[in-house]
A and B are shown apart, each in its own frame.
Chain A
Amino acid sequence: MPETQEPNSTTPAAIPGQYAEVLTDPLPPAASLDPSTRIARIQLYKEMRQKGIFVPPEHLRFAIELITLDRANKASEARKSSTSAKKASAPVGIPNIEDL
């Protein structure tokens, strides 16, 4: 059973069900999660730390994968929107001087 585990604690306490489930279930491939699920899982790890629940090494690694994917996703979206903004602001319909 997963436990809270702090450097100075001697008696680990049981942890709430939803977090225990996350820590005992097998980890899915990070890339298989959709962006909103990735963000939700990162948020869950944040909550666990705020409640003093130890996030074990394999979950830290998983969180890092999720964050890396999330950042790559955001960068890709930013590039796309920047490209469409450039297209939208590019001058259109400039007449050929020979047509004038």
Chain B
Amino acid sequence: MPNPITLPQVIDSTMLVTWRACPRKFFLSFCHNLAPAGQSVDLLFGGAVAKGLEVARKQFFIAGDSAQHAQALGINAALEFYGDFVPTEKKMAKSWEGLLLCMDGYFRHWPLATDPVKPYKNAIEFSFCLPMQALHPSGQPWMYAGRFDMIAEVDGLLHGVDDKTTGNSFSPGWSEGWALRNQFLGYTWGAQQYGLPVERMLVRGMSVLKTKCDYTQALAHFPHHLLDRWYHQVQRDLEAITRQWNEGYFDYNFGDTCSSFGGCAFNTVCSAGDPEAWLSMFARRDWDPIRQNPEVVKDAAA
């Protein structure tokens, strides 16, 4: 049975950035709800880490458990989330064993008991969903959604906190790479709409390699003029999405998006004489921007 094609009214950073990279990819990913068949170990590993940190932080900062027990509960939660998945040899660093080492290393690097980064008013896994000015084809406003790992008070200032895992070593520019990141601009804007004076993001990185895990953190500042520029751009993008939906045609990138990161999963569709015939090769998924782990693959490819 073919997927119903719908244009979601709630959009998040992943969807918006996909749109900017290639409207056709956005259409296939979020209107057709197609995803490459097979579990992505990167998403699974990142989701497991997020779940583990959430459980540990809530248990320590909200439930008042001991740091040692809270961290153990967090690690247990991460391992349970990961399940019985076995990655390919190339991705072995992100195995179950790698997850245990990564989580343990995180709490050695930033122990809950002594970490100066503490949640602000229990804002662990803080979600928002806010109306934009631009109109969705339904006539209702587009909604912009996001989910912070944590909002924390650091040296008396509110920061958004985001934990990132990477399968690569930290490059010299890793710390500087966040200043124009749509995800963080959107988070900062979202927090401010709730009256929270968040202007900074603290990014905590975990480099998960076959032989070791490294940890580092970076700060990024998002001043008002930049948030205004971001908001203006998002309005333009949303209006363009509405326009292309109404036209019934989503543009192709035919450029770097097709070849970067090992090649776009939809290259076969975009190059086929009969694209529709290829759609059944993909899994169906449900993407919910509000969920901690937005992607749920509903069924495998036919």
Contact = CB atoms under 8 A, between A and B. Distances in A.
A57 B72 contact: yes
Given A7-B58, A42-B97, A67-B101, A50 B83 contact: yes
Nearest to A46: B96
A5 to B, nearest CB: 8
Contacts of B104: 60-61, 64
A85 B100 CA distance: 33
A35 interface: no
A49 B72 CA distance: 12
A50 B84 contact: yes
Interface in A15-59: 42, 46, 49-50, 52, 54-57
B269 interface: no
B96 A64 contact: no
Of A7, A54, A75, chain B has the most CB atoms within 10 Å of the CB of A7
Interface stretch (B23-31, B73-81, B195-203): B73-81
Secondary structure type dominating chain A contacts: helix
Given A50-B83, A64-B101, A7 B75 contact: no
Nearest to B80: A49
Nearest to A67: B97
Q: Which of B59, B76, B77, B104 has the most CB of A within 10 A?
A: B76
Nearest to A58: B72
B69 A57 contact: yes
Given A7-B58, A46-B96, A67-B101, A54 B83 contact: no
Residue of A6, A52, A60 ringed by the most chain B CB atoms within 10 A: A60
Interface string B67-100: 0110111011101100110000000000011001
B55 interface: yes
Given A7-B58, A42-B97, A67-B97, A56 B72 contact: yes
Contacts of A60: 72, 75-76, 100, 104
Contacts, number: 50
B101 A46 contact: no
B76 A54 contact: yes
Nearest to A43: B96
**Chain B interface, >50% SS class:** helix
B97 A49 contact: no
B272 interface: no
B1 interface: no
B73 A7 contact: yes
A49 B79 CA distance: 7
A67 B69 contact: no
B80 A50 contact: yes
Contacts of B55: 7
Nearest to B69: A57
A64 B80 contact: no
B68 A57 contact: yes
Contacts of A57: 68-69, 71-72
Given A7-B55, A46-B84, A49-B80, A63 B73 contact: no
B63 interface: yes
A16 to B, nearest CB: 17
Nearest to A55: B76
A67 to B, nearest CB: 5
A42 B100 CA distance: 11
Given A6-B76, A57-B72, A67-B101, 13 more contacts: A5-B73, A46-B79, A49-B79, A50-B80, A52-B80, A55-B75, A57-B68, A60-B76, A60-B104, A64-B101, A68-B101, A71-B97, A71-B211
Shortest 5 CB-CB distances between A and B: which pairs? A57-B72, A49-B79, A67-B97, A49-B80, A7-B73
